[in-house]
Structure 1
């Protein structure tokens, strides 16, 4: 028992998996056997108060965390992984657990602040033409016109998505999106080239637009998301008009397009091939050139285009903390998070200071 509320073993499992601990690893931290912890998670046994405190300290949560009722957890069809077939089951479970916990905090934050309205359209697709139309419809809905997108990060955040990263996990799954009432996009913890990050964001945007309720990760859905990203960042009509039409590839013009559209030269080549501006031989020649000149991973001008940083979550936390000092820590505590777990699921540190002062408490039950 924890106070007058019953210890929930599923909450223990959720926190353990979110931290990436096996039963043995957690057992070593709290001086308990694997079998005993498994019985706690299964609800066969209840822990002592001393054990609850030890578990909370080991997992970076509050004692109250184990008694909270949780919203439905993130399910596989809501989580769009890159290369899902080769992603270890343990990593998938960890991401689902962290996504569930982050969703709980974001839901509480959503009730404390007026965050951007979620406006991702729901457009199922079957054909390539459907994907092109979906990208055009998304641009039209968000009033982006047909020119270059200056900041892809702001596009997805203005559409209502929270962008963050999971330390120690996201580098293994590259990029992913989670389709919840407030969608989440988890970016790579590593610092990719700015063009790569923008394409990854557009790719995840494609999943959120086209693949609601669909388990993704296979070649078909990944190819669809790639085609959406390409069409979204390089609209068909503008691209056909601007791409240099010649028998030999005009690299000067291609790199000028890269700087203007903030899209990699390799993605520009692929777009030209998809739109049948380039033949298969020309496309292959272009990739051979990039490879021979050492530009398959790091292209020319990659260091010129500035990487975009997420702003919504950090700005929301800063605004709330400025208006009501201590409110963010109170919301985190309401979700059952101590500093360590909050950083694991939000990719940010909690504001300094005490959350015990109740003179300026902001209600999280109303906007």
Structure 2
């Protein structure tokens, strides 16, 4: 049966207006509008034309999606500067991630997500509590992406060319997801991951029914959004750079080069570390301003000095390695999910990055 929902998902993923799709598919705008509204069921030839125009397999349009992500469940930090096209394109990437994750759950044994029952409103307290719950104390986190995956979070990639969206997060039931644009610097990607973790921990609470909710986000009031974004940043700062550890290893800051060398311990940007030192009183207001100015003059706002290696998904890498043992390719994976190969490639390759595998990194098995 033809699915108008699937048609709209594909159209928004390709960033096409209805008029543009009609022209590409050789249909009149009126005809396409009737199809989208469910007032006309397209014949096989029309479905084929739509599939060809969108470069999606016909099978994608002949089944309803198991679930669809909606904007109300997502909080974009820069919503006012996002075009509807970019916003919808990013949201529908999450919809495809849900479908791919369903397939993964059926075929593999994946880590499950567990979280303590306590709820914390203070970002510093929340970061410290989560570190304690996960048993990592005040130690630096060498691979944040791996840590979150091992704790049961699902992390997929956004389109690299959609630069206005760094990341977003959401729950489906009690399962957390993070959609990450990993085209940024490795340090920024880590901070974005920690930022979204803050939203998941502090702002989206799982109720007794197993469903997550965010009461403040439903109001969508600018003041609530600004507050939550600030809290998520504070959480990320404290989670990646525990105050006690920073004070122990960086009690005095003499110059910017010292910060560039020290940032390797916490794997954060030099600007984030400078801000942390200011917040902890290690840097005076005058010295912090001077260092920020020097960071800008040296061009470190755009090009991070001594950039670290980007983190990769060990779960997805392990999955692909297991599929390879069955002589299956990325194309086979796409066909099994009724998706174009480029869409599957976008979802997983952006958080893979490297081809070498470490079998011990993720205990993933076929089911």
Q: Which runs of 5+ in 1 are unaligned?
A: 1-5, 349-365
Match of 1:188 in 2: 181
Q: Secondary structure at the match of 2:155?
A: strand
Match of 1:258 in 2: 263
Q: Secondary structure at the match of 2:75?
A: strand
Match of 2:229 in 1: 222
Match of 1:88 in 2: 83
Kept in 2, the 8 Å contact 1:79–1:177? The answer is yes
Match of 1:360 in 2: none
- 1:301 aligned onto 2:306: yes
Kept in 2, the 8 Å contact 1:161–1:182? The answer is yes
CA distance in 1, matches of 2:92, 2:185: 28
Q: CA deviation at 1:276?
A: 3.5
- 1:319 aligned onto 2:322: yes
CA distance in 2, matches of 1:66, 1:285: 57
Cα deviation 1:271-310 (Å, max 9, x = unaligned): 12223343333322221222233333324323xx222223
Q: CA deviation at 1:83?
A: 1.4
TM-score normalised to structure 2 length: 0.82
Q: CA deviation at 1:267?
A: 1.0
Distance 1:95 1:33, change over 3 A: same
The CA RMSD measured in Å over matched residues stands at 2.7
| Alignment coverage as a number of residue pairs | 336
Cα deviation 1:291-339 (Å, max 9, x = unaligned): 233333324323xx222223322321331342x4449766644532132
CA distance in 2, matches of 1:326, 1:245: 54
CA distance in 2, matches of 1:57, 1:242: 58
- 1:147 aligned onto 2:139: yes
Q: Secondary structure at the match of 2:148?
A: helix
Match of 1:172 in 2: 164
Distance 1:328 1:295, change over 3 A: closer
Q: Which runs of 5+ in 2 are unaligned?
A: 205-212, 351-365
Match of 1:353 in 2: none
CA distance in 1, matches of 2:339, 2:201: 31
2:62 corresponds to which of 57, 60, 67: 67
- Taking the TM superposition and a 5 Å limit, the aligned residue runs for 1:17-32 are 17-32=12-27
**Higher RCO structure, 1 or 2 (CA under 8 Å, sep 6+):** 1
Distance 1:155 1:92, change over 3 A: same
Match of 2:355 in 1: none
Cα deviation 1:138-192 (Å, max 9, x = unaligned): 21222222121111221122122333323355422122223335433232253x3
TM-score normalised to structure 1 length: 0.82
Match of 1:342 in 2: 344
Cα deviation 1:84-137 (Å, max 9, x = unaligned): 2221122211212221122111111112101121235576543xxx21111112
Match of 2:193 in 1: 201
Cα deviation 1:49-104 (Å, max 9, x = unaligned): 11112222332333332232323311224323231222112221121222112211
- 1:274 aligned onto 2:266: no
Kept in 1, the 8 Å contact 2:76–2:168? The answer is yes
Q: Secondary structure at the match of 2:109?
A: coil
Match of 1:363 in 2: none
CA distance in 2, matches of 1:27, 1:108: 32
Distance 1:318 1:78, change over 3 A: farther
CA distance in 2, matches of 1:37, 1:133: 53
CA distance in 2, matches of 1:295, 1:338: 38
Q: Secondary structure at the match of 2:164?
A: helix
Match of 2:362 in 1: none
CA distance in 2, matches of 1:226, 1:275: 15
Cα deviation 1:245-277 (Å, max 9, x = unaligned): 37xx34454333212222222111211222334
Distance 1:205 1:244, change over 3 A: same
